[in-house]
Each structure stands twice: as C-alpha cells, then as structure tokens.
Amino acid sequence: MKLLLVEDNLELAHWLVSLLTSEGFVTDHVGDAEDASRLVRSHCYDVVLLDMRLPSMSGKDLLSIMRRRRDTVPVMMLTAHDSLDDKLDCFDAGADDYMVKPVDTRELVARITTLVRRRTPSAVNAMQCGDLEYHFSHREFRHNGNVLSLRRREHAILETLMLRQGKAVSKSALMESIFGLDEPASLDAVDLYVHRLRKHLAGSTARIATVRGLGYILRANEFDVRYS
C-alpha cells in the first residue's frame, strides 16, 4: 500500500515515515498543502494522512478542494487537538477518519488498513484469488494455510495486484506502488519482482498474467476470484 503523509513537523514526519516503512508501507512525505494537492492529482495513493494545520492552507481546506474535484482517496486527518468541533468539521469536509497526535502505532496501522478494506467489495476481511488468500488484519498472503515469505517490494506488488484484482495494472502503476518519491524508480525492477512472485506462486492456482500493452493482472487459473 502507498501512503501520502502531509505533515509540516519534520521531526514527527520522519518518525511516522520510519514507522510506516517498517510496517511495509511505501510512504511519500510533503510538508505543505500545495505539494500535497499536486501529488494526489498525479499519483495513486491508497490513503492520505493529512495534518489539520499546515503553513499555507489548512488540511481541512485542502480536503475540501480534493473532494470538490471528486478525489475519492481515503483521508485520515491528524491533529493535536481533540476537539469535537474539529472532528465534525473534518467529517463535513469529507474525511474518512480522524486521529489525535501522538498516535499509537498499532491503532494507526489498523485504521489505515481498515480504510483500504472499506474500498473492497462488501468491506471484506479477506480476499481470495484461487487458493491464494490475503488477510487485511495482518496484511499477509497465505497459501494452503502457510504465510508467504515475501520481500517488501514483492509484497507491495502482489498487494497492489490483489487489491485491483481482475483489472490489468500497468507497469508504471506498479513501479509507483513500490518506490517512494526519493527513490530511484525502474520499470525493469517491476519485471524482476513479478518474476520472483511467479516463483512464489508456482504451487498456487493464482497466477500473474501478462496483458500485452497494458501490464499485469492477478487471476486464478479457473478465473474465479472470491471474497470472504
């Protein structure tokens, strides 16, 4: 999953990015609303973590702009003030969730995962493609009851394909899902990670197929994708 953190407190932002990276998220960070507005228009994020008070524009105002242009990315507001009025203002502006700083690590990760899960059919707790299972609670892939041991970027690509399963995902979109803004990105790396994933899935009925000219798609051999 790829996140955008919009936070002007550099010390806090560094801590959050390190925390989220250790939890397997790819996290971009900007410190002002203008940069954030540009990024959400040009990149695909699973969740935006948005500070309430920013230098040039409030997080609430930025959120209002995003919703007016019909940007439906889930947004979690972060604030240092536990005010009912602030909460109501954020939800009125289109926020999907709200957390008061300092945040608890486990709660933050759980809430981010919940926001992504809500976008899947029937807000399922697990997704299944053939005999490959993806469990939201632990962000784990399982095959025949065993957890697949995947490297961080392998996991990120398979997660992206599972969340968008049934649809072809371009190489550029997969590249974006595994590299942050400050990391050197490579389309060739996507092919390498897909090659490794195919080896991991060799004994599974789920497979990653190449769609010529479009990218890759995750589907079951029997073309049956189920939810639970």
Last residue of a domain, one of 117, 148, 164: 117
Convert the pLDDT of each residue in 82-137 to its tens digit.
788 888 888 998 999 999 988 898 899 999 999 988 887 655 788 899 999 999 88
Residues 41 and 23 in one domain: yes
Q: Residues 155-194: pLDDT tens digits?
A: 999 999 998 888 899 999 999 999 998 888 889 999 999 9
In DSSP notation, the chain reads: -EEEEE-S-HHHHHHHHHHHHHTT-EEEEESSHHHHHHHHHHS--SEEEEES--SSS-HHHHHHHHHHTT----EEEEES---HHHHHHHHHHT-SEEEESSPPHHHHHHHHHHHHHTTSGGG-SEEEETTEEEETTTTEEEETTEEP---HHHHHHHHHHHHTTTS-B-HHHHHHHH--TTS---HHHHHHHHHHHHHHTTTSSEEEEEETTTEEEEEETT--EEE-
Question: What's the Rg (C-alpha) of the chain?
Answer: 18
Residues 164 and 90 grouped into a single domain? no
pLDDT at residue number 98: 93
Distance CA 2, CA 5 (A): 10
pLDDT of the residue at 122: 59
Q: Is the pLDDT of residue 138 over 70?
A: yes
Across 21-25, 95-99, 194-198, 222-226, least confident range:
222-226
**Distance (Å, whole) CA 195 – CA 51:** 39
Q: Residue 133: which residues within 8 A CB-CB, separation 6 or more?
A: 126, 127, 141, 142, 143
Tell me what pLDDT residue 224 has.
45
| Predicted pLDDT at 221 | 80
128 and 100 both lie in a single domain: no
125 and 112 co-located in one domain: no
In this structure, are 144 and 94 located in the same domain?
A: no
Instruction: Give yes or no for residue 225 having a pLDDT over 70.
Output: no
Distances (CA, A) of 121 to 6, 144, 228: 28, 23, 10
Spatial distance between the Cα atoms of 220 and 172, rounded to a whole number of angstroms: 23
User: Do 130 and 219 sit in the same domain of this protein?
Assistant: yes
Tokens of 219: 């589907």
Question: What average pLDDT is seen over the chain?
Answer: 90
CB distance 99 to 78 below 8 Å: yes
CATH number, domain with residue 26: 3.40.50.2300
Of 73-87, 170-184, 212-226, the poorest mean pLDDT is in 212-226
Domain enclosing residue 131, as ranges = 121-227
Q: How far is residue 7 CA from its own chain's centroid?
A: 18
What is the distance between the alpha carbons of residues 209 and 198, in angstroms, rounded to a whole number?
9
Give the pair of three-digit tokens for residue 31.
Answer: 């410190």
Q: Among residues of the chain, what percentage have pLDDT more than 90?
A: 65
Query: What total number of domains does the chain contain?
Result: 2
52 alpha carbon, distance to own chain's centre: 21
**What CATH number is attached to the domain comprising 169?**
1.10.10.10
Last residue of a domain, one of 72, 91, 117: 117
Q: Is the predicted pLDDT of residue 48 greater than 90, yes or no?
A: yes
User: How large a percentage of the chain has pLDDT more than 70?
Assistant: 95
